[in-house]
Structure 1
Amino acid sequence: MKKLYFLTTLVVLSAATFKANAQSNDDGISDLFKGNPGDVNKLINAYTNPLFKGFGNSLNGGWTNTAKTLTLGHFDLRISASASIIPQADRTFDINALGLTNIKATSSPIAPTFGGSDALSTGITISDPADPNNPNRQYKTTLPKGVTQYVPAPQIQLTVGLIKNTDVTLRLIPTTKITDDVGSVGMVGFGVKHNIIQDFAKGAVRPFDLSVAVGYTRLSYNKPLSVRPETNNGGTTGSQDYSNQRLEGHFSGWNAQVILSKKFAIITPFVAVGFLTSKTDVGLKGNFPFVTGVTPSAVEADRKPTYTTYANPITIGGSSSSQVSGLRADLGFQLELSIVRIYASGSLAEYKSVNAGIGFGF
């Protein structure tokens, strides 16, 4: 029981680490609330899409490290974590290509995404919709910098052997509040694996194991936010009650694979090919202030943003650009030491990833 509690705690902390990195504070989100809701929605999606694609890819990892299935009554309890690498092409975006209404790049239009460089700072100019061509009613600021190119996701799962060369896997993290800053995380998933080589080599020595497997994972996340107008502003229209701000997200993924493995003493190398798909459904709930105007002044330093409050304004993800769908290839091994097992693998897909973990069973 102590081992189970320890493993569960590690997984929850892994989930917390991901979100702490993704939203270590609200500055990244706050810095994107520059302009009307339509413009902000496009900016937030462009900035966060690589984060959610990477997370969806990581969520699909770590299902198995061997084609061999467990026999009836045997089990394997494991904890692992996957980390996807955001490719170079998804580390920046072009502000001018977003079709923004009242925002344009001050100089270079290339801005970092979540996976971009923390040294790249991109300036933008916000025009007052009431007088968009008046230089005295334009407000200049910067977009948030990149955070990290690595996007992790946790897995904790129990696999139980059934009859007919088949085992089933359950992934589960009960909804758990980590802290007020990190938020709450919950996960559920299921998988099935069948060793087809045993169907054709009954009673014979099998040169290898060959299985087909499918798995589904869904993670839910809730985090309180604190997006406020700048202290030095030109006023706010609408509600100024921001106590109900939060981020609500659901991440789901399917993964189907054909797995080939061969055991040599205590080590089992494996290779797998398959298809994965993931979906992101994230929204900002509550009252949020948007920069929707600029107080006029001939002196740039004296121009101040004015705000309008909107309720439940933003949907993040949900578009094809934030989804992952395509072929996947995995290569790795399982090291078996009595009842303890150590796992590691690497994956080639749209987003490359690595997975490592530890488990026990018999």
Structure 2
Amino acid sequence: MKRIISGLFICSCSLLTAQTSINSIFAAGLEDAERFTTDYLAPFSESTVYGFSSGWYNTADAKPLGGFEISLVGAVTSHKNKEDKQTFVLDPNEYQNLNFVQNPGMARPVSSALGGLEGTRVFVEGQVAGLNVRQEFELPSGISAEGLDFVPSGYLQVSVGILKGTEIKARFLPKIAYDGASVGLIGFGLQHDFTKWLPADKLLPIAISGVIGYTKLNGDYDISDIGLVEGANQRIEAEMNSWAFSAVLSTKLPIINFYGGVGYITGKSQTDLLGEYRVTSGPFASETYIDPFSIAENVSVVTGTVGAKLKLGFFRINADYNLGVFNTATLGVNFGFR
């Protein structure tokens, strides 16, 4: 469980925290290992982009000049009941060496980094010094096998009113280190309230805004001490960049308000497996891989958000639900002026 938590802090490193040996994955050869890892990590990377791209607004009513709000935002991106994200189809005919122990040559669903399928055994075989060598191992499961049906995210966000109908936003998560892993986040946003330009703005019960937000997440994970593969300087470096564009509508009432928006998220995550890895079993036992591969995942999707915000003086609290390929629930605790 400790390794799973570390993996959640860093975008897209579940492969190394799953209950399997990376040495087994490399036993299939570098090309097969990269193909499998790409498909295995893709849903996890995608859900992480969604989670860290949410929470940019809790109203369409932009703050006036000098108005500010400091928010502690937490979110969970759920993959429960999303079978197409918890598994992917592995076709041995698309691999050079990897095959299933039972019914070899037949494609079937296997667990992704989000999934919970366990007990899927595969093998690789080949000639070594004139002798046939066969290596069997079990494919990794995912975080659902640990009882986790969501990917968490969180950050501190600040919003400040500057010009008429315009506020700027910044979000950050200071570099946090835990059990060999570290992660940090920074982001910037802009919100403009178009209704502020209308003559009857103060009389209107609603506000309409446009919001743009950029988020960048960096993480690294030192895996040298895990002891899964012989080698040196073994680590993961992960980076996620995303843009969120939203059109937002909200009420303008004194205490409780409701808001909703339609948005578009586009982003990219990249995971680099770095260091030296020496395979010690199977037909590729003599192979050594340096900085084996880099995996990139692109995300583009339309989303919808509904939420509510309670305002009690300088203290505010909001909750919303973001609908998309993955659904994200967000809770914000806010302190503000004006």
TM normalised by structure 1 equals: 0.81
User: 1:76 deviation in Å?
Assistant: 0.6
Amino acid at match of 1:190: F
Output the CA distance in 2 between the equivalents of 1:314 and 1:69.
45
TM normalised by structure 2 equals: 0.86
Q: Which residue of 1 aligns with 2:124?
A: 126
User: 1:38 deviation in Å?
Assistant: 0.9
Task: State whether residues 229 and 289 of structure 1, in contact with CA within 8 Å, keep that contact through their aligned partners in structure 2.
Answer: no
Amino acid at match of 1:94: V
Matches within 5 A, 1:176-195: 176=176, 178-181=177-180, 183-195=181-193
Task: State whether residues 35 and 291 of structure 1, in contact with CA within 8 Å, keep that contact through their aligned partners in structure 2.
Answer: no
3-state secondary structure, aligned to 1:128: strand
Q: Which residue of 2 aligns with 1:236?
A: none
Q: Deviations over 1:42-81 (max 9, x none)?
A: 1111111111000001111011111011111111111112
Q: Deviations over 1:192-213 (max 9, x none)?
A: 0000012123465112010001
Gaps of 5+ in 2: none
Q: 1:18 aligns with which of 8, 25, 46?
A: 8
Output the CA distance in 2 between the equivalents of 1:34 and 1:18.
26
User: 1:306 deviation in Å?
Assistant: 2.3
Q: 1:65 aligns with which of 58, 69, 77?
A: 58
Output the CA distance in 2 between the equivalents of 1:344 and 1:289.
48
Amino acid at match of 2:265: L
User: 1:311 deviation in Å?
Assistant: 0.7
Task: State whether residues 70 and 165 of structure 1, in contact with CA within 8 Å, keep that contact through their aligned partners in structure 2.
Answer: yes
Structure with the largest fraction of strand? 2
Amino acid at match of 1:348: L
Q: Does residue 325 of structure 1 match 2:303?
A: no
Q: Share of identical aligned residues, percent?
A: 25
Q: Which residue of 1 aligns with 2:263?
A: 274
Q: Which residue of 2 aligns with 1:306?
A: 285
Shift of the 204–77 alpha-carbon distance from structure 1 to 2, 3 Å rule, reads: closer
Q: Which residue of 2 aligns with 1:36?
A: 29
Gaps of 5+ in 1: 1-14, 231-239, 295-304
Amino acid at match of 2:220: N
Q: Deviations over 1:264-297 (max 9, x none)?
A: 4411110100111110111011012346744xxx
Task: State whether residues 33 and 40 of structure 1, in contact with CA within 8 Å, keep that contact through their aligned partners in structure 2.
Answer: yes
Q: Which residue of 1 aligns with 2:239?
A: 250
Amino acid at match of 1:256: F
Task: State whether residues 83 and 150 of structure 1, in contact with CA within 8 Å, keep that contact through their aligned partners in structure 2.
Answer: yes
Output the CA distance in 1 between the equivalents of 2:143 and 2:244.
28
Q: 2:90 aligns with which of 77, 87, 95?
A: 95
Output the CA distance in 1 between the equivalents of 2:49 and 2:21.
20
Output the CA distance in 2 between the equivalents of 1:311 and 1:74.
52
Output the CA distance in 2 between the equivalents of 1:224 and 1:125.
28
Shift of the 131–202 alpha-carbon distance from structure 1 to 2, 3 Å rule, reads: farther
Q: Runs of at least 4 residues of structure 1 off by over 6 A?
A: none
3-state secondary structure, aligned to 2:118: coil
Shift of the 84–63 alpha-carbon distance from structure 1 to 2, 3 Å rule, reads: same
Shift of the 98–280 alpha-carbon distance from structure 1 to 2, 3 Å rule, reads: farther
Q: Does residue 352 of structure 1 match 2:327?
A: yes
Amino acid at match of 1:80: V
Amino acid at match of 2:72: I
Q: Does residue 197 of structure 1 match 2:195?
A: yes
Aligned pairs, number = 319
Output the CA distance in 1 between the equivalents of 2:46 and 2:219.
16
